[in-house]
Amino acid sequence: MTINIPDGVAYELVDSLRGGHLLLIQDYTFSRTNRSSRLWFCSSKLSSQCKAKVKLSNDKVVSHNLEHNHPPPRYFKTREGTLVKL
């Protein structure tokens, strides 16, 4: 599912190998700490101390910071749509 956020940037909700979901925005992945959370953090938050984040409410972006301090991760998407990090 691809959805456009207010600034015209598209995001996609994809499955992860661990059975959860990831947001994919401009080749960067975002994860959340629990399923009920509306705040998605860059998947490299801990390893790179990245401050990029997206807040969703009813599948709409309420606020976002898409500035990353690292290059996007390398991954491929399976036929089923699951992201696999290389």
Local confidence band at 1 (pLDDT 50, 70, 90 cut-offs) = very low
What is the pLDDT averaged over residues 1-8?
A: 54
Give the residue extent of every domain in the chain: 2-85
Q: Which fold has domain 2-85?
A: N-terminal domain of TfIIb (2.20.25)
User: By C-alpha distance, which of 1, 3, 5 is closest to 54?
Assistant: 5
The tens digit of pLDDT for each residue in 37-85 reads 889 999 999 889 999 999 887 777 778 898 999 999 898 888 888 888 8
Answer whether residue 4 shows pLDDT above 60: no
Asked whether the whole model's pTM tops 0.85, one would answer: no
Confidence (pLDDT) at 5: 57
- DSSP sequence for 13-76: EEEETTS-EEEEETTEEEE-SSTT--EEEETTHHHH----EEEEETTEEEEEE---SSPPPPEE
